[in-house]
Amino acid sequence: MARVCELTGKKTISGNNVSHSNRRTKRKFYPNLQKKRFWHEEEQRWVTLRVSTSAIRTITKKGLAAYLRDLAKKGHVVNV
């Protein structure tokens, strides 16, 4: 399973470890993903999503339905 947020699309990026002597070796930066259940009010059911913590904070603030509408306005395709 890929490490990608199901709502925001955040994914693993690559970069470098830089030592004290300034040598560089490749490394990966992983998104902070959590498996979380949300209550989808319009469909009256629980939805389990693998989302980033920043998405969890936004859903907590706005609500799941409003957040999904905002994503749809921006052109993101989300099947929940």
Summarised one tens digit per residue, pLDDT across range 3-59 is 999 999 999 999 999 999 999 999 999 999 999 999 999 999 999 999 999 999 999
Res. 69 pLDDT band, cuts 50 70 90 = very high
For residues 64 and 47, give the distance between their C-alpha atoms in angstroms, rounded to a whole number. 10
Written as one string, the DSSP assignment of 11-54 is B-EEEEEE-TT--EEEEEE---EEEEEEEETTTTEEEEEEEEHH
Angle at 32 between CA 31 and CA 35, to 5 degrees: 120
Q: Is the full-model pTM beyond 0.75?
A: yes
Structural domain containing residue 54: 13-74
In a domain, 2, yes or no: no
Contact 80, 40 (CB under 8 A): yes
Provide the number of structural domains found in the chain: 1
In a domain, 7, yes or no: no
For residues 36 and 18, give the distance between their C-alpha atoms in angstroms, rounded to a whole number. 34
CATH number at residue 59: 2.30.170.40
